[in-house]
A = this chain, B = another copy of it.
Amino acid sequence: MNLKELSNLLGLSQTTISRALNGYPEVNEETRARVLKAAEETGYRPNRVARRLATGKVGSLGIVMPITPEQPVDIHFAEFQSGLADECLKHDFHFVIMPAEREQEEQAIRDLVSSGSIDGYYIAYMRERDPRIAMAKSLPLPFVVHGRSMNIAEDYPYLDVDNEAAFSEATEHLLELGHQRFAMLNGPADLDFAQRRRQGIEKALRARGLALDPALVSSTVMTDGHGFQHMARFLERKDPPTAVLCASTVLALGAVRAIRQAGLEVGADISLIAHDDDLHLLRPEHFSTPLSTTRSSIRDAGRRVAERLIAAVNGEEIDAQQRELWRAELILRASTAMAPA
């Protein structure tokens, strides 16, 4: 059922029906009621693709889904997407997912934009001096960056967690508990959030005249396998760390396994703080030893990004709010304790 058929059915022009349905004033209320009723009965829904061609809007956001052989599905991505979906549902938006390998990410964004199937998009997994930002600014659609990119002079709309502050704070807490030897299970070294988290630790240590031993830092995709593997490696050293900071509860999952397998106890022998994106599946309080965390909901971030994008699509520009930096909350549980003597 399309407009033309409906117009034949009602003996009205397509114009009138379109206007009746879209709430324009120049149509008799009686006629409008008749149209609305017929639309309801026939189940008529305007073709969004045709509407997009006519108006330029489709009611859809775009996202590029990173595909890597090593990490088939990123739970952080899924959780973010879940927030995005919540917000889209509210506004009758849907979203388009464009899978892309890392090398094709820029091309994927271009394709998505020129495909005409979205009104706005977000980009994530930012790296230093990320070229995608300049590119996005040159494209005609609104966008929001999730995260940030270091050493970019220009302004751009983003939403990020203050990773540096979060990890500084966590480190300071461990220092106060007497820890001196720190390890870090970090995300991929080229990603902005990983760099900032590391800087946060280094900053806090430097203030006490300490330094982070590069041999006790791993930078990997955030899977529990990597968490296990590198934690095990750290523990094999003759001077193992007494405190570990993890960039994700997923890494912590593996780390805890390694610690226990080495016959050690989380908390008593080794203190651990993980960044908690509030992953629904991996609650820090459900670990065998409940985990101390720096917490910031990635799902809320997804909601907020969608909210901003939809506002931008609807023409509600809010330049004042372009840059948004969320503070993570330090939550102490049983995985942090005084350093062993």
Contact = CB atoms under 8 A, between A and B. Distances in A.
Interface in A212-256: 223-224, 228, 250, 254
A93 to B, nearest CB: 9
A223 to B, nearest CB: 8
A293 B288 CA distance: 22
Contacts of A116: 47-50
Interface stretch (A98-106, A187-195, A313-321): A98-106
Interface stretch (A9-17, A64-72, A141-149, A329-337): A64-72
A58 B75 CA distance: 29
Contacts of A65: 85
Interface stretch (A107-115, A158-166, A168-176, A197-205): A107-115
A285 B71 CA distance: 18
B299 A117 contact: no
A257 interface: yes
B281 A257 contact: no
Given A75-B75, A97-B85, A99-B85, A49 B53 contact: yes
Given A73-B299, A78-B75, A281-B250, A48 B115 contact: yes
A85 B60 contact: no
Nearest to A78: B78
Contact of A45 (B58, B78, B99, B111): B111
15 contacts: A45-B110, A45-B114, A49-B58, A60-B117, A73-B81, A73-B280, A75-B78, A78-B81, A86-B99, A94-B117, A95-B97, A96-B96, A224-B281, A257-B286, A260-B288
Interface of A: 43, 45, 47-50, 52-53, 58, 60, 65, 67, 71-73, 75, 77-79, 81-83, 85-86, 88-89, 94-101, 110-112, 114-117, 223-224, 228, 250, 254, 257, 260, 280-283, 286, 288, 299
